């Protein structure tokens, strides 16, 4: 059974599927979670605190999914493609993840402007993508030679860039990629793009996602 905190976050996230954040009422979030409004305020302090926790949970869930996607039993030599596949599915399944990755929040989401200034800042898209790339390289490049690590770093960056392109395609393509495991049609394209890019010599030993 979920804790009161998780139930409240689930309730707030569900409300976002039908209402803009400015129209989401704390009393309704509490009622849908089956707790008192006072419990909600005790947990989050304010609506801005609830928004921060909601966005933070989305970021943490995406990062946890990255590590799972790169698990040894799933990768089978397709680490960057697995990373891209998970990123596309996560961005399409959760508008907050998509906003975190792209920086495009829209008026209906609890974007940076509605979050409290106190506390640790949320990562920018560049920071989040760089973190993901570096985690992927660490997970996939154990024991690799320096040159191999550089190529893996570039491959993971390319995979992430391509994943964001797929995540932002028109809505009529979403039916083909609603969840991570249904994203397999993108793998040949991503693998081809990575192979092509790595076949070109580069003078830079480290790329940073802008």
Helices 146-167 and 125-140, interaxial angle, to 10°? Answer: 130
Instruction: For residue range 171-206, list pLDDT tens digits in order.
Output: 444 444 444 444 445 555 555 554 554 444 444 444
Question: What pLDDT score was predicted for residue 76?
Answer: 54
pLDDT at 80 over 90: no
CB neighbours (10 Å) of residue 175? 8
Return d(Cα 141, Cα 148) in angstroms, integer.
8
Instruction: Decide: 190 and 80 in contact? Cβ < 8 Å.
Output: yes
| Cα-based angle 34, 42, 123 (whole degrees, multiple of 5) | 100
Is the alpha carbon torsion for 79, 83, 84, 86 positive or negative?
positive
CA neighbor of 179 nearest in space, from 102, 93, 62, 98: 93
Mean local confidence (pLDDT), 32-61: 93
Return d(Cα 86, Cα 62) in angstroms, integer.
9
Per the document, the length of the chain is: 210
pLDDT at 170 over 50: no
CA neighbor of 160 nearest in space, from 143, 195, 136, 196: 136
Return d(Cα 93, Cα 184) in angstroms, integer.
16
Instruction: For residue range 155-167, list pLDDT tens digits in order.
Output: 899 999 888 888 8
């Amino acid at each position: 059974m979920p804790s009161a905190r998780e139930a409240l976050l689930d309730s707030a996230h569900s409300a976002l599927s039908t209402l803009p954040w400015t129209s989401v009422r704390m009393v309704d979030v509490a009622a849908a979670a089956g707790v008192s409004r006072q419990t909600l305020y005790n947990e989050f302090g304010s609506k801005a605190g609830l928004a921060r926790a909601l966005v933070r949970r989305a970021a943490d869930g995406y990062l946890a999914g990255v590590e799972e996607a790169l698990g040894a039993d799933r990768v089978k030599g397709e680490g960057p493609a697995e990373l891209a596949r998970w990123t596309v599915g996560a961005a399409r399944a959760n508008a907050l993840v998509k906003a975190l990755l792209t920086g495009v929040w829209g008026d209906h989401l609890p974007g940076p402007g509605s979050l409290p200034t106190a506390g640790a800042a949320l990562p920018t898209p560049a920071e989040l993508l760089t973190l993901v790339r570096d985690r992927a390289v660490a997970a996939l490049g154990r024991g690799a030679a320096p040159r191999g690590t550089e190529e893996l770093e570039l491959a993971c960056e390319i995979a992430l860039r391509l994943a964001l392109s797929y995540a932002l395609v028109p809505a009529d393509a979403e039916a083909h990629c609603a969840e991570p495991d249904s994203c397999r049609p993108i793998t040949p394209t991503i693998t081809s793009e990575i192979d092509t890019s790595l076949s070109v010599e580069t003078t830079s030993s480290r790329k940073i996602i802008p």
